[in-house]
């Protein structure tokens, strides 16, 4: 049960709670449902963040590819992605 719960993304404290609930009678299924709802919400939030990250990385990759195509094999010129990263880093400070 512990391994399967870990595969589902439950933390050790959450698994401990599930183990306790496994041995209780009564309304445990409602509590388990609430735990599952919370876990699903967390996973959906992570997916949204990863999708945003993927979009940003894809845009950066396109910029690199355009710059390389425009410049041929020349190493001249600055990398627009590095410039953008440096600019954003200084904006946050």
The full set of domain ranges for the chain reads: 2-92
Q: Which residues, in sequence order, are CB contacts of 18 under 8 Å at separation 6+?
A: 1, 5, 10, 32, 35
CB contact at 8 A, 37 and 50? no
**Is the CATH code 1.25.40 the one for domain 2-92?**
no
How do residues 37-67 score in pLDDT, each as one tens digit? Answer: 999 999 999 999 999 999 999 999 998 888 8
Note whether 15 and 6 are within 8 A (CB). Answer: yes
User: Alpha-carbon Rg of the chain, whole angstroms?
Assistant: 23
Lowest mean pLDDT among 49-58, 70-79, 84-93: 70-79
């Amino acid at each position: 049960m512990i391994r399967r719960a870990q595969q589902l993304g439950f933390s050790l404290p959450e698994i401990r709670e599930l183990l306790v609930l496994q041995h209780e009678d009564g309304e445990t299924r409602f509590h388990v449902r609430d735990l599952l709802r919370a876990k699903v919400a967390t996973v959906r939030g992570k997916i949204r963040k990863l999708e945003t990250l993927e979009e940003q990385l894809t845009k950066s990759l396109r910029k690199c590819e355009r710059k390389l195509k425009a410049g041929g094999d020349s190493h001249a010129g600055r990398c627009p992605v590095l410039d953008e990263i440096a600019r954003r880093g200084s904006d946050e400070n």
